[in-house]
Amino acid sequence: MKPQEGQIYHIYNRGNQKQTLFFNDSNYYYFLKKMKDHLLPYVDLLSWTLMPNHYHFEIYANEKTVQLIDNRIIPISCLSEGMRNLQSSYTAGFNAQYDKSGNLFHQKFKNKLVGPDTKTQGRNLLHYIHRNAFEAGLVNRIQDWKFSSYNEYLIPERPGFCNKELAMQLLDLDRRSILQANIDPTDFPALPV
């Protein structure tokens, strides 16, 4: 992936053969620790959710995101390296815990550039990500899914992973519009998971 500075991306992946990635809360928290260690140093995270067999991130590519790691045969971006490290380190820990081996994730992560109407499409993506567990029938209310950024926005003083101020600026949002998350699912194309 060759990200462009100043752009918003939807990054996602699922378990290999749609297998479960997270069996319990400790698995989710372990993945979030890996996300903090390997992804957050290189991106501005706008929204995220972890589902039992997949994840979604909405990121803003900043100066660090696009920097290249030159000491490689083929230079790669810090974003690609961070995602590689996130998935491989989570897989190593997961496989050790459950006495498994092999690939946990379906190939490498997928990414889509958000645009050309970045504000509208980025806002729709944020709502899509926040509604994911609700739409899948895992919870009755969006705020009941604890493994998404929705509650970071619901309780502004709560520490979290997202750059909420940047998200509100880039996507022309106010707190009320973020919290409503009442969008028509037909406003955005079906996204593979």
pLDDT tens readout for residues 26-65: 999 999 999 999 999 999 999 999 999 999 999 999 999 9
Buried b (16+ CB within 10 A) or exposed e, 132-150: bbbeeeeeeebbebebbbb
pLDDT tens readout for residues 72-87: 888 899 999 999 999 9
For the chain, the first-to-last Cα distance in angstroms comes to 19
For the chain, give the mean pLDDT. Answer: 90
Rounded Cα gap, residues 23 and 104, in angstroms = 13
Is-cis flag, bond preceding 116, omega within 30? yes
**CATH architecture of the domain covering 8-187:** 2-Layer Sandwich (3.30)
pLDDT-derived band of residue 174, with 50, 70 and 90 as boundaries?
confident
pLDDT tens readout for residues 118-147: 899 999 999 999 999 999 999 999 999 999
